[in-house]
């Protein structure tokens, strides 16, 4: 019994000396997004399409998406042999967000399957 009391007296103060550590350091940032561009139409297919984006082929498949780099590009397309439209468009990439708490990676990195 004396031995049990001695053990209790020695161990009991250890419970009061313990501390709780909360670690909310963010994990690594998520991966950057990917940029895609495609040409499609609503009523009539364009007569021809031109684009200075090197990722888009000369005669793109309508409705198909092509992986591209961020940047500012010019385009023009003919409605018929005489009428055309032209303009510029910009493509950008969404940057990866901050990681989760406790050093976990961004939750979207765990959900998305890399291509």
Report which of residues 75 and 27 the model is more confident about.
Answer: 75
Q: Looking at residue 45, what is its pLDDT? A: 86
Task: Report which secondary-structure segment, H or E, holds 111.
Answer: helix 107-111
Judge whether 16 lies within some domain.
no
Question: Above pLDDT 70, what percent of the chain?
Answer: 63
Domain count of the fold of the chain: 1
Judge whether 89 lies within some domain.
yes
d(CA 103, CA 25): 6
Judge whether 101 lies within some domain.
no
Q: Looking at residue 87, what is its pLDDT? A: 94
Report which of residues 94 and 15 the model is more confident about.
Answer: 94
Q: Is pLDDT above 60 for 107?
A: no
Q: Looking at residue 41, what is its pLDDT? A: 86
Judge whether 62 lies within some domain.
yes
Q: Is pLDDT above 80 for 89?
A: yes
Judge whether 24 lies within some domain.
no
Span 25-37, pLDDT tens digits = 667 777 788 899 9
Judge whether 27 lies within some domain.
no
Judge whether 71 lies within some domain.
yes
Question: Domain span at residue 84?
Answer: 35-94+106-111
- What pTM was computed for the model? 0.59
Judge whether 12 lies within some domain.
no
- Alpha-carbon torsion (40, 46, 48, 52), positive or negative: negative
């Amino acid at each position: 019994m004396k031995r049990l009391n001695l053990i209790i007296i020695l161990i009991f103060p250890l419970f009061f000396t313990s501390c709780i550590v909360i670690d909310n350091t963010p994990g690594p940032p998520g991966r950057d997004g990917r940029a895609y561009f495609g040409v499609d139409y609503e009523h009539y297919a364009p007569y021809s399409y031109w684009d200075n984006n090197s990722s888009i082929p000369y005669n793109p498949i309508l409705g198909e998406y092509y992986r591209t780099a961020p940047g500012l590009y010019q385009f023009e397309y003919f409605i018929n042999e005489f009428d055309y439209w032209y303009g510029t468009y910009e493509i950008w990439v969404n940057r990866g967000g901050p990681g989760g708490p406790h050093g976990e990676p961004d939750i979207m990195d765990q959900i998305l399957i890399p291509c």
